Structure formats: C-alpha cells, structure tokens
Structure 1
Amino acid sequence: MTNFLKLKSIIFSFSISIITLFSGFAQEKTTPIFQDGEAQIVEAFNTPDKWIRHDLFVETEFDTDGDGKLDRVHVSVTRPFQTDTEGLKLPIIYESSPYYAGVAPDVDGVFWDVNHELGETAQERAHPEVKRLGERPIISNSQIKTWVPRGYIVVHSSSPGTGLSQGSPTVGGDNESLAPKAVIDWLCGRAKGYTEPYGNKTVEAFWSTGKVGMTGTSYNGTIPLAAATTGVEGLEVIIPVAPNTSYYHYYRSNGLVRSPGGYLGEDIDVLYDYIHSGGEEPLIPNSDFKVNDANIPKGYKSKRAYSNAKIRDTEMKNGMDRITGDYNDFWAGRDYLNDMGPMKAALLMSHGFNDWNVMPEHSYRIYKRAKEMGLPTQIYYHQFGHGGPPPVSMMNKWFTHYLHNVENGIEEEPNKAWIVREGDKMSNPTAYKDYPNPEAKDIVLHLTSGAPKAGGLTNTKALKQGKETLIDNYSFSGEALARAEITNHRLLYITPKLEKDIHISGVPKITIKLASNKPAANLSVWLVSLPWDESRRAKTTDNIITRGWADPQNHKSITESAPLKPGKFYEMTFNLQPDDQVIKAGQQIGLMIFSSDKEYTLHPKPGAELTIDLDGTTLTLPVVGGVENFVNALGK
C-alpha cells in the first residue's frame, strides 16, 4: 500500500508539471519581433485566413451634407486574430482615400476647354456622376500584406462624401483634415464609433495602443499631412508619397492657370466630380437600410445634389477663379503650408523629381517648413515620375521607431536626404546631409543673343545684348521647340558643351524682363539638357531638367494681377521646380523661354509676341561646388 501511495504521488506530481508546462505555453503571447531596427514578419501574424476584418462609422465634429447631424466616416479594420484571443494591443498603419469606392467615368467635355483667349470664360463643362463601388466590410486591401504580418493593425477610411462616408468632398477643405483626425481620436478612445451610419450601437478600438502612422500616395498622401496639421494626439509619424500640399500649386503657377501634367483642362471642380462617390441612396449596398426623407436636405433630391450645389457650384465656382489665376482666400484655405503650426508628427517625405502631375515643389515646401519647426524630418527623392514610396526597409524603420518605441537610430541619422541617382534602383538611394545639397551654391547665368537659333548661357555678364522676340503658338509642343534648330516660337540660350559632369541640387530661379504686345500672355520656362536624346525617355530622367510657368500680369504678386500695357517692360522673378540631377559631360544646359505650353497652359490664338530684354534676364542655378565647379566643367 505504501508503494501504491508513492506511485500515485509521483503520477500526480508529473501531471501537475505537465499542466504547468502547457499552461505556461498557453500564457505566452504572440508579440512583434524586431531585428536591425525593423519589425520582422511573424508567422503567427502572417495568417490572412485568420485576420479579423470589420468596419464601422466614426462620428466627426462637422456636418457638411446638410442633414443637421454630425457626419460619420466609413472605417475598416484588419488586425491579427491575437488582438482578440490574447488581448494583444498593436499600433496602427492608417491610409485614407477618396478613391476607394470608384471614380467618375471619362466622358467628353469633363475637362475645361483650354482653347480660348486668356481672361475669357470657357463654356460650362460636363459633370459625370460616380457609380459607387465596394461592399462592407472591406474598403481597401492596400498596406495589409506589408504591415499586418509585421505586427501592425491596418485601418482604412473613405474621405468625406466618398464611398459610404457621409458629408461632402471639399478637395482640401477643413473637413478633409478633421475626418482622419476623428478616426485617430477613435483609435485613441476620444471619439465614438458606431456599427451603422445612423445607429447607436458603439464600437471601441480596444486593440489599439493609441499610436498611429499614416501613409499613402498622391491624394492618399495628402490626407496624412492634412491630419497632421490638426496636431491630433496619437498621430506619431506620416510618410506622404507625392502629396498634393497646395491645390493652388497643383492648378496654378505664379498667377497662371496651369493644368497638372497629363490632365489638360483639369481644375479643382473636375477633381470634385471625379471623387464624389457618396450621397447616393440607399446608403448601404445590399442592405435594407435606406435614408428617409428627413435625412435629405430640404429642397434637394439627394445629399449628392446638396453637395454639388453648395460645394461645387457655389464655393468652388466663386473661389477657383480661372479668369485671373490669382491666389485668394479660397486657395489659401487649401494650402497645407498655412496650417502646419499645430503639427507634431515626424515626417518622412517622398517624391519624384520628374513628377509633372504633383510637382516636386509640393513635398519640398512642406519638408523645408517641417525642418524649420524642428520636427523629425527626412526626405526621399527619386528620378522617376508620379508616385514611388521609399524602400520598405526605410518605412519600416520609421514606423518601428515611432510606433513601437524601438531605438534604431532614426533620429540620430546624420543624413536627412536620400536621393536615387540616375540609373540606380529605387531601393538604392544615395545618402546626403540634406536637400538641397549643402555644398550647392547659387550661380547667376546671363544670356547672350542668338535668336532665332540659340544664344548663349554664361556666368559672365555680356553688356548690351539687346532684346529678342518670340511669337506664341501653342500648336508646337515644348519638346518640339527644344529640338528645333531654328524657330521664332521660342528663345533658347545654351552653355558650351560640358567637359565634366555638373551636379544641380536645389531650386533654380529666373528673373526675366519682358514686354508683351497684348494685355495678357502665358509665360513658360524650361531648363533642358541638349542635344535631345529620344532614347533617354526609357531611363530615369529625360532631357527636361526642370520647368516653371508664370503670368506676367502677376509680376508684383500672385495675389493681385493687372493687364499688361503693350510694349511696356516688366520684371518678375519666380522659381522653377526643385531638382537634383547630374548633367553628364558632353551635354549642354539650355534655358528655353516660350509662351503657351501645349501640355499645361491655356491655348490662346497664336500670334502674341513676347520680347525679352536679355540684359535684364538671368538664371540662378544651384550647382554643387558653385561657380568653381561650373567653370571647371566647361573646361575653362
């Protein structure tokens, strides 16, 4: 009997040990893993079939659809199942967009007609309507495969007046900043989320650590900046890619009505129609929920009709001013540079130097101000066009540091600029202390006569070069004008052939003294690398170094224009687009001045004459190594 009791005791002790052992395993929680300062893919998180996906409606602090109730924005969540089974809390990667639910069809007449005289009103354009796409609970799948397996929760939202989000799109208005703020407030426990757009059943983000990072490209990159300008607590870091940071700078240049590259005739009201997928009834696809008459503003058939009348046909029509192109209160309210005071989020900016849609000045102006404010800031530039995020490794380190509190050296990094050099891969940027390159110094280049062929561009001033005249004709593209040996439709001034490479880094600037034979004229300036090589189009950079546009009527200020007195000379100074480019030996740098730019400006009837005073016109070029390197590159 004694031996039997001993055996039972041994078995019991062994059983307790086994239970304790497995209990220990059961209590061990899945957590993010970090290596070399980056969040690693964790197999327990990399289980798409087990991810929890749900949606909700977050209440904002505004009412922009006229129903007398605070607008709610549609939000979707994708998170590892361990946030339910293990009580795990994780930080959030958040992307918001007006595009998720579809866009307007491409129909004839949707863009403004550009074939008319400057200062004239174009005929009314067509207004296509968006047929909303998408079903609950999934708004988008972007970002999910990259970040959920690395220990993040991914959140999406449709911006106001798009998809299932209530309200009106305003294309840069305050509600497009306050909407993502509300979502972040909800993620941090400060705002209310509901299961339905008009229901009272609440949803809480119990799985959130209260730390949020935002990213996205183009409009989706604008929204992180918009959210950051509110100073909302919890938004720790933003990584905007090719963001539109000022709708004036997107649709105007120095007082000139100018289209974004590839979208001739687009303006802010065109973009409004393009994204306005909200305001339809029933509000929820494939459900019995409908909006009753009490929810629709009195006198309107739908909330979409109300928004069209209030925002597009009143606020935008009265504010956007396609007649003068002046910067006014309407545009100032859609310029995020004016709103950066409360911003606290760290900023990693990304853009392409050959982005002629959302041009590189959009990122540079915000990066520059963020540095001045003392915010943690870096910039990543590449030589390609629109889009192009930083390498995942770089984004990972930023999100890891600011959202997981991992010390990985990001804030101590001595280099603040990462630039993909010509011919290099996007994943292999070159590090520089800053942008512009601190070793770049402005040099002033002067013009020597030579029309209708080409004059010279030199760092020594040659007096009494006189005046030269060009005749406007929009039917010739800028490329054709740059390639032409002889033409009176442009003026071209070129350096001698380079014997060594020249590195340009920064913002070129032109001071131009000109007269027009008409009260209004377009002014376009290209900086080009010659001779023109068609094969370079397939590479990371082409013959266009940078460009700029201006309205001579705004020679005093972009906020006020006045008709030109024919024959009178005016002086104006304006920036070209930022650039960082190595011009190779064997090339020549050319300054081309012309009037209407076929792909970007209005198309007035050909024949206007612009006369340039060469002695009063200069090009300021930021050259790494300054005038010494410039002279050496010319073999002098």
Structure 2
Amino acid sequence: MPIPVRATRLTYRSLVAATAAALITVGLAPSGAQGAPPRESRPVYSYENAIRESVWVDTGLDEDGDGRTDRVAVDIVRPRETARAGRKIPVIMDASPYYSCCGRGNESQRKTYDENGDPVQFPLYYDNYFVPRGYAFVAVDLAGTNRSDGCVDVGGRSDIQSARAVVDWLNGRAHGWTSRSGGERTRADWTTGNTGMIGKSYDGTIANGVAATGVRGLKTIVPIGAISSWYDYYFAKGAPLYDSGPDWLSGYVESPEARERCQAVQQRLVDGAPRSGDLTALWTERDYVPDADKVRASVFAVHGMQDLNVRAKHFGQWWDALADNGVERKVWLSQTGHVDPFDFRRGTWVTTLHRWFDHYLLGHDNGVDREPMADVEHAPDQWSTDRVWPPRRTATTALRPGPGRAPGVGTLSLTPARPGATETFTDDPRQDETDWAAAVDTTTAAKAGFVTRPLGRDLRLSGSGRVTVTATPSTSSAHLTAVLVDLGPATIRDYAAAGEGITTLPARTCWGASTAGDSSCFKETKAHTAEVGHTVFSRGWADLGNHASAAEGRPLTPGKPYTITLDLHASDHVVPAGHRLALIVAGTERNLIEPPASTPRLTLDLARTTADLPLVGGAAAFARAIDRSAASAGTPGAGGRSSDGVAGPRSIRPIPGGSTR
C-alpha cells in the first residue's frame, strides 16, 4: 500500500528498533510465522542501513578494442542484516543505458554517488520497496554507458552480454572486481543467484534479449513496453519508421569517453542498417523472437496498446512465440502509449509485482501463477481479466472488403468481393490515420475505406491480425498502411498527448523506505482522457517492394499487381453495439512512416484482399454482430474527427524522446 508523504518521517533509531523487533519475531525469515510456509515477504530490514556497493563484472568482450576485457558497472543495494546472518537473498535487476544520460521513470531519475563513488540514489522504487523485504536490487550500466567500459551496440551482443554477464556473476560463473580497472576479485556469495530482470523500453528489451539466451539463474523477466526485434523497431516490412538509425540511439546514450573509443562500432551500426529497409545480419542478431525456445524464465509482459514508440507488434510476436514454447507468462495491456504501469495503475501494480517476485524468486506459494493470465484495460481505469490470452474462443476470421455506394467508401463483411472489383487511392504523405478515419464515409483521394454495418452487439478483437492486399502501383515504389478503426463515440486515454494517457499530479505518495539521498516518494498520476468520435486501435505498414521477400526490397513495375501482407499490431478492443468496424488501406502515414521515392496511385484488387482478424467467437460472432435485425436497434457510430484531434498519432522519436524512458 502507498504511504502518504507526511507519514514517512521515522527516525533512524525508531526504524532500527522496529526492524530488530521484527527480526527477532520472524527469526530472520522475510515473512510468515515460524513453522508456516511464507506467503508474502515483509518489510523487516533496514533500508537506511543497507549495504550499498559497486562491482565491475567482466563481460568477456573487448568491443572498444583497448586490449582489455570490458567491465560493466553494477551498483548494488542489499540488506545488511541478511549479510551478517549469512542468509542468501534473490536479486531484482534493471540493466539500462539511461542511468546517466537520460534518467529513468516519469521523473527522469538518475543514479547519484557520494564522494567515494559509492551509490546513493537508485532510480525508481524497486530498491526502496523490495530491499526491506529481503531482496537485493542491482542496477547495471550497459556497456559504453555511465561507468562501464565497452560500446553500445543497440540490442546486439555487447548490450545483451552486459546484463547476461551479471547474471552469470550472481551465479558464480563470471568474475567481478572492486574497481573498473584492477581491484580485487569479489564474489556474489550473498545471493541465491535467483534473478528477476525488470525494465521499461530499452531496459525491458535487454530483459527479453537476456532471457532469449537461456541463461541459468534468470528466473523471471518483467518487460514493459519492450522491443522483441530491433528491425521491427526501425522498419515495418521494408517501410522506414524513423528518420534515423541505431547509430543515432547509440550516440545518444553513450558516455563521452565511449564516443571517443567506439567509432568502429558506430560505423558497423551505420553499415549494417541501410535505410533501404533490407533485413541484414545486424538485424537478425537483434531479433529475439526465434530464440523464444531457449527462454527458461517466466515472463510478465506489460504493453500499451496505443504505444506508437515501441509498437504493440513487439509484444504480440514475442507473446505468440513464448506461447508456442510453453513459457509461463502473464500480461497487462493498457490503453496508454509508452507508459509504465507504476504511472497508470500504481497500487495494483506494486501489489501484483510484489507477489510475482515473491513467487518466482523466493518460492512463495501465493497463487499468483494460478490467477487469470491477462488484465486488459478496455476504458480508462476499467480493467477486465481473462483466464488465458487471447481468450480461448478467439479465432482468426477472414473479413473481406467490397465496393460500396461511392468510390473509396466500401463495405466490410464475410463475403468476398466479385472478381474485378477495385478501389483506388493516391499516396498523400501529408495525411494520417486521423484524416482517413474522419473521412471514412466520404470519397477522398488518399484512402480506401471499408466499413461494416452498425453492430447489433459487442464485437471483441483480441490478438494479432494481418491484412493481405493485392495492389497495382503506378510508380516503381510504394508504401502501404492498414488500420482498424472503431467508428463511434468513446472516452479514451489521450495517448496522443504529451503524457501518452496520463497526467502527472503534484501530490506524492511513498512506496517503501527512504533515505536523505533516495526518496521512495513519487508524484501521483491520473488518466488523461479525451472524447473522440472514432478510435484507431491497430495498425500495420509495409513497403510494397518487399512483396517477394521480407529481407530485401525490389523496384516495382508500374501497372503490375503485387500481393503483400501487412502485420497488424496486437490489440484487445471491443467495438460496442451501435458502432461500426472499419478497415482503411492507404499509403504513407504522416509522422509514422517515411514516404517512398515516388507518389504512387494504387489500385486494390478487392477479390484478392483480406483482413484476417482475431475475433472472439470467430465468424459466428461477427455474423451475429452484424445481423440486420439486431443492428437495427443500435445507433450508428459517428465517424468524424474528435474536436481536439486526439485520436491521431503524433511525431515520435526513437526511445530516448519524450516520456519514452
């Protein structure tokens, strides 16, 4: 439970006395009565008196080419009482490139050190909350950042080995030292080796990558808004998603010294990531999905379904691969953008995370592994659960676009279009999904829209979909976008605003113990909502030149038809009765993909175009939802733009920008 700020002013003497009494009561056990199996770790250890130390761990690599094995800095905080008693404890670890350059969390906290170089502030609340409960917290500087040697290689071998080496050291398989160069050997003889990795964005990505190595001792990971394939961060089947590559991100997070010594690594990033969108060996190395069969750890994934930075495709393909390999897993899906659950569902999140770590790191049989697999936010602060996710009754269902009453205003149903039916649009890089959705019922040159009848009952889509199109371009290059839209009024989290669905408040609450240099008190937040006339809830992009190969694009022959499949991002959305479901196919989406070299006119062959969507209840549920007699009782949803335009995307830079940390 949170602690009000004014309730945290305990003296050190009273804290130590309370801790001593608690330790006598439980006999140094972190929770539970003597003789009874523990179910929850309790805050019985002193945070103020905890051991704070730094260790440098050999990675086994020499990425900066200085002739010495690169060492990564590992800052540790752990209970002093367990060390004195010789009691081994588990570790919660956040490996990050952001501890010095950019900060962590909603308040951009950085590591701080005293005059001796010992750690004082550990960003976020993991240390404040969990150290008093009998855990160690370990904050790792990725190679090339803050106080670590080596070079940043953006999800590659050096990044992943930075964190894996620390897991190995915690389990007695790697060398640790008391200083960055030289020093004495030090062993992690205070830990069980059981490690849980956690982190948002880049940090969660590293957790995914380390788990995909199969390293022993890593018991669980909690990736939040995390990447599963770096190619899919920068490209979508050949279509470039940003105006920069991994070399920009590497340069952004590297320490000043690393920039001087890592020019060769920077050049490899440039050479291996051409803006053509070709799938090179650099990207293959940074794709963790094929190695899901190596994952030994349980996975508690969290993702914003409106995350336009680390898009929900990353979660969807990782989740499906974990499921295929029988990995224990849990998920929270929110309506936010790139936001930590600490900032959109704080109390429930901390309680759930506590129970998760207690189970997988301390071995407590608290039942968290038997609870519903998924929590899904269907409206601001309104959550539901599913025993499994996607729900068992979910079935991929082919919906077919057809011509309608006017050009560009078509239908969406279970019935294929007749052979020869077409729709035509011209790429307009000045428009985006908001513009298209606002004009879905109007003939416009920049999109082809396909809409169901008003629904007579709710229709739920849950999981990852895809849209296969056959398109004939008028030029030698073309980019495509497909979006799913709920046409109807709703109150949503304003994911397109600066807070990506949250508003930060001035009041603070505290989550754990504090010291003068490391407060456990954080600003509260609330949902930032907007009233909209439509909601875009899934997206996908592709370069039509990648029709023959996802790995390599080719020039198109004008006037020749090509077939390509666009992967839609994972989502869980209910289209309510009275609303309509729309599929929109268009060209360049402003601010999210870059335009092609030409401005093509594209003709869709509707008979050879299909949207394969994950419908709960399958085709039968869709048929019931669009039944004429049932639909007649509903009120058609509005297809217009909201007054403040919040349903549309905003220009988003790669991970470091805005609230992406």
Please indicate the TM-score interval, normalised by the length of the shorter structure: 0.7 to 0.9
Q: What aligned pairs does 1:234-633 form with structure 2 within 5 A after superposition?
A: 234-259=217-242, 265-277=243-255, 280=257, 303-307=258-262, 309-313=263-267, 315-323=268-276, 325-389=277-341, 391-413=349-371, 415-425=372-382, 429-450=383-404, 451-464=406-419, 466-484=421-439, 485-531=442-488, 537=494, 538-539=528-529, 543-604=535-596, 607-633=599-625
With over 3 angstroms needed to count, the CA separation of the structure-2 counterparts of 1:348 and 1:56, relative to structure 1, is same
**Against the structure 1 CA distance between its residues 137 and 226, is the aligned structure 2 distance closer, same or farther, given a 3 Å change threshold?**
farther
Structure whose residues are more often strand by fraction: 2
Q: Which residues of 2 match residues 36-185 of structure 1 at below 5 A?
A: 39-42=40-43, 44-45=44-45, 47-103=46-102, 134-135=112-113, 136-138=117-119, 140-142=122-124, 143-185=126-168
How many Å separate the matches in 1 of 2:21 and 2:226?
50
SS of alignment partner, residue 547 of structure 1: strand
Residues 1:23 and 1:270: Cα distance change in structure 2 (over 3 Å): closer
In structure 2, what residue type is equivalent to 1:381?
L
Please say if residues 524 and 549 of structure 1, whose CA atoms lie closer than 8 Å, have aligned partners that are also in contact.
yes
Q: 1:141 to 1:560 in 2, by over 3 A?
A: closer
1:305 Cα deviation from its structure 2 partner: 2.5
- 1:246, 1:337 within 8 Å by CA — same for their partners in 2? yes
The Cα of 1:162 is off from its aligned counterpart by 0.4
Q: Which residue does the alignment assign to 2:28?
A: 30
One-letter amino acid matched to 1:508: G
Deviation of 1:423 after TM superposition, in Å, equals 3.5
1:525 deviates by 1.0
Kindly tell me: are residues 174 and 340 of structure 1, through their superposed partners in 2, closer, same or farther at Cα, counting changes over 3 Å? Answer: farther
Q: Do the aligned residues in 1 keep the contact of 2:316 with 2:463 (CA within 8 Å)? A: no
In structure 2, distance between residues paired with 1:479 and 1:369: 32
Q: Deviations over 1:540-575 (max 9, x none)?
A: 996012000011111122012221100111112232
Change (3 A) 1:378 1:227: same
Aligned letter for 1:33? S
Match runs of 1:223-238 below 5 Å: 223-238=206-221
Consecutive unaligned residues of structure 1, counting only runs of 5 or more, are 1-21, 105-131, 260-264, 281-302
TM-score if structure 1 supplies the norm length? 0.81
Which residue of the partner structure matches residue 115 of structure 1? Answer: none
Count of matched residue pairs:
551
Contact 1:512 1:618 in 2 (8 A): yes
Partner Cα separation in structure 2 for residue 27 and residue 507 of structure 1: 51
Structure having greater relative contact order (Cα 8 Å, sep ≥ 6): 2
Mapped contact 1:54–1:78 kept (Cα < 8 A): yes
SS of 2:379 mapped into structure 1: coil
How far did 1:133 drift?
8.0
Contact 2:336-2:493 at 8 Å conserved across structures: no
Partners of 2:333 and 2:21 in 1: how far apart?
A: 51
Alpha-carbon distance in 2 for matches of 1:183, 1:507: 34
Bigger Rg, structure 1 or 2: 1
Structure 1 residues 617, 24: CA separation in 2 closer, same or farther (over 3 Å shift)? Answer: closer
Label 1:103 to 1:392 Cα distance change in 2 as closer, same or farther (>3 A). Answer: closer
How far residue 340 of structure 1 moved from its aligned partner, in angstroms, is: 3.5
Distance 1:185 1:613, change over 3 A: same
* Secondary structure of 2:310's aligned partner: coil
1:590, distance to aligned residue in structure 2 (A):
1.0
2:95 is paired with a residue whose SS is: strand
Partner of 1:145, secondary structure, is helix
Distance across 2 between alignment mates of 1:607 and 1:272 = 33
Deviations 1:585-625, CA, capped at 9 Å, x for gaps: 22111111111110111135774211111222121222111
Percent identity (aligned): 32
Are the equivalent residues in 2 in contact too, given 1:231–1:343 (CA < 8 A)?
A: yes
Q: What whole-Å deviation, never above 9, does each CA across 1:454-512 have from its counterpart, x for those lacking one?
A: 11111123414622211111112321122123311111111111121111112222111
TM-score (norm. length: structure 2): 0.78
Amino acid at match of 1:271: L
Q: Secondary structure at the match of 2:468?
A: strand
Is the partner of 2:378 in helix, strand or coil?
coil
Partner of 1:296: none
Is the CA contact (8 Å cut-off) linking 1:171 and 1:271 kept in structure 2?
A: yes
Summarize the Cα distance change of 1:376–1:605 in structure 2 as closer, same or farther, 3 Å threshold. closer
- CA 1:585–1:28 in 2, change beyond 3 Å: closer, same or farther? closer
**AA matched with 2:118:** P
